[in-house]
Chains A and B, each alone.
Chain A
Amino acid sequence: MTSTTTRSRTGTGAGAGAATRGPGLGRKLTRLTVFAVIAAVPPLLFDSYWVFLAAQVVAFAIATLGLDILYGRTGQLSLAHASFMGVGAYTTYTVSSYGYGPAVQLAAVVVVAVVAALVVAVPTLRLSGLRLALVTLAFGELLAWVIRNTTDLTGGTQGASVDPIVIGLLDSSEPVDAYLIALVPAVIATVLAAHLGRTQLGRRMLAVRDTELAAESVGVAVARTKITAFLLSAVYAGVAGWLYAAITGFIAPPDFDLFASVYLFVAVVIGGAGSVLGAWLGAAYIVLVPELFTLAGQPNLYPIVGGALLAIVALVVPDGIVGLGRGIGRRVRRARDGQEETA
């Protein structure tokens, strides 16, 4: 890939210096305020059902942030991201069935997700592109098969009810509580993902994404970077699965199958790969848009629109909604500057 493309996707140049130093205190406070205001909207203004959906958006945002680290920043294609969510959800179900609380559940989810990611990542270090996608697809199908064929342990094709998480006064079976419970790990995940771009690891990931050979030639440990990305992404997905299981209270194999992984991919691409905001927009898309179609009485149209949008966005605006917004912003600024110069 050319350096021009690299610049356009990572925002190097003048902007990169700023990105490396990080935003100033003023910008940080502005972002924090905007985030707090948006986060306060669902519990204050919406009814229980929409708060329940908002809680799901928050859970899926963690998953899409994880996939964004793997695909958007490291360029590794995974068709098993929903499977890693499944790993988290079914670990939660198993651990909670023994009566353990959220702290043990979360610890178990992280450990199992890391082990599962290592099982996939280590043997496939040499692979990338379509072949890596194929191996992740194989892993996902294997996991789906294990779930379907271990009815005693996982509930099999019928699915399983998961006990709600109770933290102090908060009970995840209540939509507002579920939303608040989900918000804490989501904020941590978002801050970590946003900060990643300013770390050495984040820059190594971008180098691996843009050209592995060049990255290797300047001393980037490509294999270690890929494995780290895979592990981070799997932990994000596992935590998302943990929250998803606690919020919905029920999990079944179709929630984590190949199509679910593809829809997570749709979310990242439509939102804008390589961007934290894009991952959130993508999560909102895959949770809320099906509901909007259902409200409009056309629930079957969602998969059609999803497929068409994925292809169109990938072709027309490969940087997704965020890229489109940035493009429009640049044009507006350019037009304004032009007007000022003329004046």
Chain B
Amino acid sequence: MIAAFSAWFLYSEHGLPVPVALILGTLFAVIVNSAIDYAAIRRIPEGRPGLDLVVTLGIFLLITAVMQQLIDANAHTFTSLGADTRTELGGVVVSVNDGVVVVLTAAIILGAYLLLNRTSLGTSLRASAEDAGIAQAAGVNVRALRTATWAAAGVIAAIVAVLVASRLSVDAFYMTPVLIKAFIAGMIGGLDRFWLPLSVAVGLGVYEALAVFLLGSSAGTPAVFLLIIVVLALVPKRFVNERNEVRA
């Protein structure tokens, strides 16, 4: 949201070229994300259940309110990134934007997979997530790694925010449903796994689209939330063990 809002502000209010505004917006989001880790997340005391969620909720409220105050509460049309350029492929109407989304998503997933599984940096990351103390003792700079992870997460979130904005519009709350669904996918799939949360995210999208298609536009929200309650109530216990939870 910060990336898309900043980019929109830079190109629409200050006349910057769209690509430059998008890069600057993304950079700003990365800086803010890293600053959140530096100023808040790493300072959360251990052994206080739920405190990390409370702190991130506070930051979420703060960022949303600041964005509303700095710009306004209205929705603004974002650059379309090819959403209005359509063609027909095998009877299906697709836009350039669809292509951009698919290619970027595939590239990010592949990049993240290779980083986590084929590089020493990825091994250090996984080791730190599993046991930061042991990783630190083994010579991993956990603090720097954490900040770098937050920065990388900021880049990915910024790209997603820009892609979503290009298909909808930008306001202070437009990413909230996306955030909730990403949270759902992470919770159901498990934040310490790679493919399962991704599969859950895709499945959730297909399921919501099907519910809307079959039952009407107002059926999407209840269908998704009913599914969460049912899935989390029925999923085998090993999937919902607290030790599989890591800080969101």
Residues of A at the B interface (CB closer than 8 Å) are 1-2, 5, 71, 75, 77, 123-124, 126-131, 133-135, 137-139, 141-142, 145-146, 149, 209, 259, 262, 265-266, 269, 300-301, 303-304, 306-312, 314-315, 318
Contact = CB atoms under 8 A, between A and B. Distances in A.
Contact of A314 (B55, B69, B184, B221): B55
B44 A315 contact: yes
A139 B229 contact: yes
Contacts of B245: 129-131
Given A127-B232, A134-B232, A311-B62, 6 more contacts: A131-B245, A307-B58, A311-B40, A314-B44, A314-B55, A318-B45
Interface residues of B, number: 42
Between A129, A209, A309, the greatest number of chain B beta carbons within 10 A of the residue's beta carbon is seen for A129
Interface majority SS on B: helix, strand, loop or mixed? Answer: helix
Contacts of B49: 1, 75, 128-129, 209
Contacts of A133: 50, 53
Given A71-B50, A314-B51, A145 B58 contact: no
A314 B58 contact: yes
A134 B240 CA distance: 12
A300 B69 contact: yes
A134 B55 CA distance: 16
Contacts of B233: 123-124, 135
Nearest to B183: A134
Given A123-B233, A265-B54, A135 B228 contact: yes
A137 B44 CA distance: 23
Contact of B180 (A131, A137, A312): A137
A242 B59 CA distance: 31
B229 A135 contact: yes
Given A131-B187, A307-B63, A315 B232 contact: no
B48 interface: yes
Interface in B182-230: 183-184, 187, 218, 221-222, 225-226, 228-229
Contacts of A141: 180, 221, 225
Contacts of B60: 307
A129 B225 CA distance: 18
A310 B58 CA distance: 5
Contact of A303 (B64, B184, B187, B232): B64
A5 B242 contact: no
Given A307-B62, A307-B64, A311-B40, A130 B53 contact: yes
Nearest to A71: B50
Given A127-B232, A141-B221, A315 B43 contact: yes
B187 A306 contact: no
A128 B242 contact: yes
Given A77-B50, A129-B245, A308-B62, A265 B57 contact: yes
16 contacts: A71-B50, A124-B229, A129-B49, A134-B187, A137-B180, A138-B225, A145-B218, A145-B221, A259-B61, A265-B54, A304-B62, A304-B65, A307-B62, A310-B54, A314-B51, A315-B44
Contacts of A265: 54, 57
A2 to B, nearest CB: 7
B232 A318 contact: no
Nearest to B225: A138
Given A301-B69, A310-B61, A314-B58, A129 B242 contact: yes
Contacts of A123: 229, 232-233
B74 to A, nearest CB: 14
A262 B180 CA distance: 14
B237 interface: yes
B225 A126 contact: no
A282 to B, nearest CB: 13
A90 B49 CA distance: 32
A303 B225 contact: no
B237 A126 contact: yes
A149 B218 contact: yes
B137 interface: no
A308 B228 contact: no
A6 to B, nearest CB: 10
